[in-house]
Amino acid sequence: MIFSLTLQQASSDEHPPPAEIEQWVSAALTGHREQAEICIRIVDEDEICQLNGDYRNQPRATNVLSFPAELHADVDVPLLGDIVICAAVVEREADQQQKALSAHWAHMVVHGTLHLLGYDHIDDDDAERMEQLEVDILKQMNFPNPYINPIGGMHPKL
């Protein structure tokens, strides 16, 4: 598989090393695409609120947004789209959900990449399919099921 990842740091918040982010994107792409171009932009809460309000009519902070490339059918390029991740929200959620920060980051990157590949969680069947794929991909990288709370119960769905 050949992919190009552009990483944009638009926040002073910490994020995982680029090599780890590339590994997580690669794991999500495996079996789906031979070539891909993705941009991941790491932002602060102000920017994610603005984007979430503009594109989803929900002007509040969220963890990850995906923007699939909308290319004309005649255009043959590997561009998949953009993923925007709010580092502060990811860190806060990992703490609240008692998850390892790297595991939650991996989940957000995999989740966002799967959205670029066309997966969604709008209806229950699609959500189950996408969540199981996330669990399987993360398990291959030795991360726990992101939907199970380590002290019991289930985490909120994305």
Domains of the chain: 2-140 (3.40.390.30)
Query: What global pTM score does this model have?
Result: 0.92
pLDDT tens sequence across 5-39: 999 999 999 999 999 999 999 999 999 888 899 99
pLDDT tens digits, 99-125: 999 999 999 999 999 999 999 988 888
Amino acid at 102: S
- 8 A C-beta contact, residue 63 and residue 108: yes
107, 143 contact by CB (below 8 A): yes
Q: What pLDDT score was predicted for residue 51?
A: 97
Q: What are phi and psi of 26, to 5 degrees?
A: -60, -45
